[in-house]
Amino acid sequence: MIEEKLSPNAKEVLKTRYLLKDGKGDLVEDFEGMFRRVAKFVASGIDKNNNAINSEFKDDVEEMFYKMMINLDFLPNSPTLMNAGTSLGNLSACFVLPVEDSMEGIFDSLKYAALVNKSGGGTGFSFSSLRPSNDSVSSTGGVASGPVSFMKVFDSATEIIKQGGRRRGANMGILRIDHPDIKEFILAKQEEDSLNNFNLSVGITEEFMSTLEEGGDYPLYNPRNGEIVGYHSAKEIFNIIVEGAHKNGEPGVVFIDAINQQNTLPGLGLIEATNPCGEQPLFPYESCNLGSLNLSNFVREGEFDFKRLKEVAKSAVLFLDTVIDVNKYPLPEIEHMTKQNRKIGLGVMGWADALVKLGIRYGSEESFSLARTVMKTIKDTADECSKYLGFVLNSFPNLKLSTFKNERRNATLTTIAPTGSISLIAGCSSGIEPLFSVSYKRNVMGTSFDEFHPIFEEKLIEADCDLELIRSQLSEKNLDEVEGIPSDIKDLFVTSHDINYKEHIQMQASFQAYTDNAVSKTINLPNSATIEDVKDAYFMAYKLGCKGLTVYRDGSRSLQVLEKPKKEKQSPQEIAEERLNKRVRPETTYGSTTRSLIGCGKLYITVNKDDYGMCEVFCSNGRGGGCHSQSEATSRLISLAMRSGVPIKQIIGQLRGIKCSAFLRKKDLVGTSCPDVIGRVIESQLEDTSIVESEEKVKVACPDCGEFVDFSEGCVVCRACGYSKCS
């Protein structure tokens, strides 16, 4: 029975997001029903009288698909589980759309992105073809505004599209390192709350890496005509990238030439973009459906069952290939391109669980060796299956434009994708990531409870440990500090922050060696990691053949949980109130008052400080008039934000740039509105204050379940319910 295999959290996630409901919101299928629906719909794309298929796959195809899903050996990406057999019908997770260098092309792409987001897909874009800012526009005689300005338009549209669906879409924006606007692109997300619906990656070229190693300047090319329009210091640009990654993980990098060196379809040109998490390089209008094998399920009695892995991998290739035929595509161009190339992405999850079952430490040489063996087995099996399917069902139409010489069904076969939701359903670790923790706090249907990692609990029971004693200590201590756990168990159950970045990258490279597309993985760094550590990480990934890299330094982003909550679960409101109560206004504050000219008179702005920095703002208008109530409301909200721990720079960012018509009617005014002037005054005092912004780790609640979110697999994810900002 599937119910016995599903955790309480998995059941709740399935009921909330995956199981079909009627018009009143009541469930109309159970867990078995969902898997049967998916198996039946996908199998409908295969001719039941095809003797070649029937002889190769001994079981009835529908039953074969159903069994591998109901046993949690393989699960397809979430859109397939959600939409198979429904009116929506989009079964793919990944799409790439072109952005052409014309106003018509740009806004066509925006329209197409809206349709893809509406259908539940994520989109990737290369903005490298857009002419740089201040370049000439012959049709109007004006100047271009550049890629970053248009990215903001796409970002705003994505924000609005959320209103018609359950969550915002996710985007990947890529710009080549040799684009003239590359510096602006790299810095575009250095202030948080900018381009929130985009992941950014710089397309790194071989020319750039060679120049960087040799020292010197590299050329910048205007994409409008291919001419060299300037040079940048490779070291300077690389340092800006590294500093951004060290600060908040943005931007990531994709080694675009490495991707194209392994492009199986060179006859179609160069690949320039990937999906939102970077693991799926695609041509414009291509889509890709993904699925993952649960490696934890292939460990039996301390041994890895390679024979069974091959059997399930072969069935999974047939499943994913058939999805291409039964899929409902959001655009005819996407359907055409997808069926011309028939790319699929078979990956893995449960890798960390498999290792602990085998008694192998994640990050050891033995773990790297096994990673290569496992992925090579999957790739070889997938290749053989694709060759057979190409022979009996016809090869993909663009075979002549590919690097392949013989019949073959699919242009690519393997991808290591994020598996946040489906790994939660399967009850295994995410993708190829290490364990996040050995102890979790879950919240299901309003009930909060502590949960051990099941394999960790098994090992403790085998060692006759006191579970309650260990549980009580883990709520306050790290695993290595807990008493009563044998050292061999502590050494085996390493988590993402116990593993150094070199081991993370080595693991990524081990899987990449036998992966057609790319590998989604987060390279975790401790908060103490230096700029040099990040530089070394990039060079190491490049040298080892990785196709991209996402680093995350602990504590560098506010949009995730940086450590396990040590208190009972709190709502976002309770967290805010707690932080506010920690900084009560003292009896006496001190500050200064600035007189500013505004569109309707004078505005007197008083900024006060306490022992921790700025704590309040007061505004009063002169006799000339002004919006008294608005100024008072603005200053009260600013004061509340300051004492609640909101970073001062974020407050300034929200105020600056707001416009008011009263300002526009007068010349020689500094500022664009009263809020803008207030922001300028606060900003002017930053240099003169010993501000101590709160270093308390900001915890942000998941929009779906209310638990705290984390940063993993290149995205913001929720460990409790599987929510992913990049879904």
Active site residue ranges:
275, 277, 279
The CA-based diameter of the chain, rounded to the nearest angstrom, is 91
The whole-angstrom separation of Cα 498 and Cα 496 is 6
Whole-angstrom CA distances from 702 to 418, 440, 605, 617, 709 are 18, 15, 37, 32, 6
Enclosing H/E stretch for 610: strand 601-610
The whole-angstrom separation of Cα 678 and Cα 446 is 42
The sign of the torsion formed by the CA atoms of 438, 441, 443, 447 equals: positive
Enclosing H/E stretch for 231: strand 228-233
- Token pair in block for residue 371: 């990673």
The whole-angstrom separation of Cα 328 and Cα 41 is 12
- Token pair in block for residue 570: 């709190």
The whole-angstrom separation of Cα 543 and Cα 305 is 32
SS3 assignment for 298-355: HEECCEECHHHHHHHHHHHHHHHHHHHHHCCCCCHHHHHHHHHHCCEEEEEECHHHHH
Contact 128, 137 (CB under 8 A): no
Burial of 489: CB neighbours in 10 Å, binned 0-12, 13-18, 19+: middle
What count of other Cβ atoms lies within 10 Å of the Cβ of residue 243?
14
How do 439-444 and 447-452 pair as beta strands? Answer: antiparallel
- From the list 529, 530, 458, the residue with the least C-alpha distance to 497 is 529
Q: Show the beta-strand stretches assigned E in 622-720.
A: 709-712, 715-718
- Token pair in block for residue 316: 């999974």
Contact 487, 515 (CB under 8 A): no
